[in-house]
Structure 1
Amino acid sequence: MPADPDGTLSSVSGGELRVGTSPDGDLVEVTRGDPTGTVVDLVDAFADSIDAEPTWTVASEETLVRMLEAGDLDLVAGGITPDTPWIDKAGVTRGYPGIEGADGRELVMLVPLGENAFLSKLESFLDAEVGS
Structure 2
Amino acid sequence: MNRWRRVCCVPLLVIALGVSGCGVTVPSDPQGTLDRVRGGVLHAGASASGELVTVDGSQVGGSLAGLVEGFAESVDAKVEWTVGSEEDLVDDLETGDLDVAIGGMTDATPWSARVAVTRAYDTIPGARGPVVLLVPLGENAWQAAIEGYLDQEVAP
Give the TM-score normalised by the residue count of structure 1: 0.96
Per the alignment, residue 120 of structure 1 pairs with 144
Is the partner of 1:2 in helix, strand or coil? coil
Alignment of 1:55 onto 2:64: no
Amino acid of the residue matched to residue 130 of structure 1?
V
Offset, 1:126: 0.4
Equivalent position SS for 1:86: helix
- TM-superposed CA distance for 1:33, in Å, is 3.0
TM-score normalised according to structure 2 size = 0.82
1:119 alignment partner AA: Q
Aligned equivalent of 1:74: 99
Q: Shift of residue 7 of structure 1?
A: 0.2
* Residue 53 of structure 2 is aligned to residue 28 of structure 1: yes
Identity of aligned residues (%): 50
Whole-Å Cα distance in 1 between the matches of residues 89 and 99 of structure 2? 10
Contact 2:118 2:134 in 1 (8 A): yes
Cα shift at 1:79: 1.1
Which of these two proteins has the greater Rg computed from alpha carbons? 2
Match of 1:41 among 66, 80, 87: 66
* 1:22-71 deviation line (CA, Å, top 9, x unaligned): 11111111113321111110100000000010010110000100010011
Query: What's the counterpart of residue 5 of structure 1?
Result: 30
Q: Distance in 1 between matches of 2:35 and 2:72?
A: 13
Shift of 1:91: 1.1
Q: Which has the higher contact order (CA 8 A, sep 6+)?
A: 1
Q: Matched residues in 2 for 1:99 and 1:49: separation?
A: 18
Kindly indicate which of the two structures has a greater share of residues assigned to helix.
2
Counterpart in the other structure of 1:109 = 133
Looking at structure 1, the residues matched to 61 and 135 of structure 2 have their Cα atoms a distance apart, in angstroms, of 20
Q: 3-state DSSP class of the match of 2:31? A: coil
- CA RMSD between the two structures: 0.9
1:64 is the counterpart of 2:108: no
